[in-house]
């Protein structure tokens, strides 16, 4: 079964500390992996996708197929990073339009 | 429009009442998705449209849920005989075909009392 697991509901760090938001997935095949972010009172938005191997707002994520993980990392957290983060995978099946399966989310709180 | 627009933003329904939630996607976006997000959970897929064709409705929880997109633009999610367990935020998202970078709407928060 396709599943995304984010083991931490809440992650609290101090400003300037490193951050790692964990994501593990279960999928038989080659999934597309994503991180979405929702800032307070804003809509859900795409942060990054593994296929583009980009760094957005200092965040990076590496797909580890051996460990079936896609952890989100940032070396120095900023207060404005406080938000809800969702890991998601897509089956990439064309007639499903790339529907996404989301994890339960991790709330990141960066304290001054 | 500039983004995905959903209305109403909030809806309170009495148990047993029918509701209709509207989504106006970004102009030109062929793909349209509906998701249900219960409190403290991630969004869960409900249904997918490509233009006016509903290609996947595997996530609809019961036959009380019905979605349509008759002209390939605006979509309506209808819930008949609402139950308390239907209380959730209903999210709409649109994208170009083959682009997994969805644009989400702000959602409709449905509360069934």
pLDDT of residue A97: 67
Task: Please name the residues in contact with A65: beta carbons below 8 A apart, sequence gap of 6 or more.
Answer: none
- Among all chains, which residue has been given the structure tokens 């008949």? B80
Q: What is the pLDDT of residue A51?
A: 76
pLDDT above 70: residue B112: yes
Q: Strand A106-111 and strand A10-14: pairing?
A: parallel
What are the structure tokens assigned to B103, written together?
């644009």
- Mean pLDDT of all residues in B52-70: 95
Tally of CB atoms within 10 A around B38: 13
Distance from CA of B18 to the nearest CA of A (A): 26
Please say if the pLDDT value at position B51 is more than 70: yes
Q: How far apart are CA B20 and CA B84, in angstroms?
A: 16
pLDDT at position A90, please? 87
Tens digits of residue pLDDT in A20-71: 999 999 987 778 899 999 999 899 999 998 877 777 889 999 889 899 999 9
Strands (DSSP E) along chain A, which ranges? 3-5, 10-14, 19-21, 24-26, 32-38, 45-49, 60-61, 72-74, 83-90, 100-102, 106-111
Are the C-beta atoms of residues A4 and A23 closer than 8 Å to each other? Answer: yes
Give percent above pLDDT 70 in chain A: 95
Give the pLDDT of residue A92. Answer: 66
Of B101 and A82, more confident: A82
For residue A29, the model assigns a pLDDT of 76
Across the interface, whether the CB atoms of A96 and B43 are under 8 A apart is answered no
**What number is the average pLDDT over the span A95-112?**
88
Which of A44, A46, A84, A105 to probe by mutation at the B interface, max B CB count within 10 Å? A44
| Chain B residues touching residue A43 (CB < 8 angstroms) | 3, 104-107
Under the banding of pLDDT at 50, 70 and 90, the label for residue B111 is very high
- Confidence at B102, pLDDT banded by 50, 70, 90: confident
- A47: buried, middle or exposed (CB in 10 Å: 19+, 13-18, 0-12)? buried
Indicate whether A94 pLDDT > 60.
no
Chain CA centroid to CA B63, Å: 15
Mean per-residue pLDDT over chain B, rounded: 94
Least trusted range by pLDDT, from A28-37, B37-46, B54-63: A28-37
Per-residue model confidence (pLDDT) at position B41: 93
Substitution target in A7, A40, A97 with the highest count of B β-carbons within 10 Å is A97
- Whole-number Cα distances in Å, B26 to A21, B5, B81: 31, 8, 30
Q: If you average pLDDT over every residue of chain A, what do you get?
A: 90
Which of residues A64 and B11 earns the better pLDDT score? B11
């Amino acid at each position: 079964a396709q599943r995304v697991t984010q083991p931490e509901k809440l992650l609290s760090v101090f400003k300037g500390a490193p951050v790692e938001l964990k994501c593990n997935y279960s999928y038989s095949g080659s999934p597309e992996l994503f991180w979405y972010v929702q800032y307070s009172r804003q809509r859900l938005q795409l942060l990054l996708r593994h296929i583009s191997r980009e760094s957005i707002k200092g965040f990076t994520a590496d797909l580890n197929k051996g460990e079936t993980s896609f952890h989100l990392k940032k070396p120095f957290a900023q207060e404005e990073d406080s938000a809800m983060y969702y890991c998601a995978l897509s089956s990439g099946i064309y007639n499903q339009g790339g529907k996404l399966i989301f994890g339960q989310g991790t709330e990141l709180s960066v304290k001054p | 429009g500039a983004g995905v627009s959903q209305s109403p933003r909030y809806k309170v329904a009495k148990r047993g009442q029918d509701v209709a939630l509207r989504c106006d996607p970004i102009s030109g976006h062929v793909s349209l998705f509906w998701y249900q997000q219960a409190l403290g959970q991630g969004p869960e897929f409900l249904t997918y449209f490509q233009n006016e064709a509903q290609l996947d409705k595997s996530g609809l929880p019961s036959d009380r849920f019905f979605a349509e997109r008759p002209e390939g633009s605006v979509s309506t999610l209808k819930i008949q005989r609402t139950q308390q367990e239907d209380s959730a935020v209903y999210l709409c998202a649109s994208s170009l075909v083959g682009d997994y970078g969805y644009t989400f709407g702000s959602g409709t928060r449905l509360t069934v009392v």
